[in-house]
Structure 1
């Protein structure tokens, strides 16, 4: 099953399912069963199954998968980019780049 994620479709549940499918494919590409991946990462096998079938997983468990599947650089690059949709939002981002605390 091939998923595409339209940048205008901001449905978190759909994105979670796409990420889960990509993780499942990566697990299978590496020749790992859920049990063996569970042993390597410390993520319970039931959690892996829930993620692969429903797209539900904790951030901590997801990050363990990111590290195991060597996606750390890609995830860091994505999260480090400032996103803006309007000029006003860009001005706010630029003005707040050195902030250490919220308002």
Structure 2
């Protein structure tokens, strides 16, 4: 039982927290570029209501999020998503070889 508990990361964020964090970063980028919500929603090819819902609640489809990233010239940020992570220590390298 202790081994199972040690594997659980209690610091993990929830899906809504991650969505809100992404929405916040998009909002900051939009403002850096001096775009209104309406301008960005138009540029991304989505309704203003959908864009506002994203900024307020972090709710969005993957397709719409990619279109927003493209409108903000940030689509390359998706390249690292789910990519293979490097090893943090020699122990991880050895454990990976023994599998």
Same fold (TM over 0.5): yes
Does residue 61 in structure 1 map to residue 64 in structure 2?
yes
Once the two structures are superposed, the pairs formed by residues 62-101 of structure 1 within 5 Å of their partners are 62-81=65-84, 87=95, 91=99
1:9 Cα offset (Å): 1.6
Question: Out of 19, 24, 41, which is 1:38 matched to?
Answer: 41
CA RMSD, 1 decimal: 2.4
Map 1:45-56 to 2 at 5 A.
Answer: 45-56=48-59
Note the residue ranges of structure 1 that are not aligned, 5 or more in a row: 1-7, 92-103
Q: What is the count of residue pairs matched by the alignment?
A: 82
Residue by residue over 1:5-29, the C-alpha shift from the partner in whole angstroms, topping out at 9 and shown as x without a partner, is: xxx4231110100000000111111
Match of 2:18 in 1: 15
Ranked by relative contact order (alpha carbons within 8 Å, sequence separation 6 or more), the top structure is: 2
**1:41 shift after superposition:** 1.1
